[in-house]
Amino acid sequence: MKGSLDQALKQRLKVMIIEECDIADITPEEVDDDIQIFSDASGLGLDSLDALQISVGLKSQFGIHLPDSKSFRRHLKSINALADFIQPE
């Protein structure tokens, strides 16, 4: 199953991001699957330190290492994009 169709995977990613970045005022249900994660519209208020925390979470929970900032930005556009990267089919 393609990652963007896997609700459990997307929920797990949202929880991981919220926990890794210590976000207390938003729930996984409030994170839109298509909104850019690092935009103001996401409501997450993420910065470069949060990007590092998310990278650590991806490595520890999914075994994924994104080697450079271009790769990181490409795959972390949205929850759907990240889910598709983790689970392409």
Does residue 57 fall inside a structural domain? Answer: yes
Does residue 89 fall inside a structural domain? Answer: no
Please name which of 44, 5, 41 lies closest in space to residue 28, comparing C-alpha atoms.
Answer: 44
Taking CA atoms, 57 is separated from 1, 13, 45, 46, in Å, by 22, 9, 17, 15
Q: Which residues of the chain have pLDDT under 50?
A: none
Spatial separation of the C-alpha atoms in residues 51 and 70, rounded to whole Å: 12
Does residue 54 fall inside a structural domain? Answer: yes
Does residue 88 fall inside a structural domain? Answer: no
Does residue 66 fall inside a structural domain? Answer: yes
CATH number where 19 lies: 1.10.1200.10
Spatial separation of the C-alpha atoms in residues 60 and 2, rounded to whole Å: 22
Does residue 25 fall inside a structural domain? Answer: yes
Q: Which domain holds residue 16?
A: 3-82
Looking at the structure of the chain, the number of domains it has is: 1
Residue 13 tokens, joined: 């990613």
Q: What is the pLDDT of residue 65?
A: 85
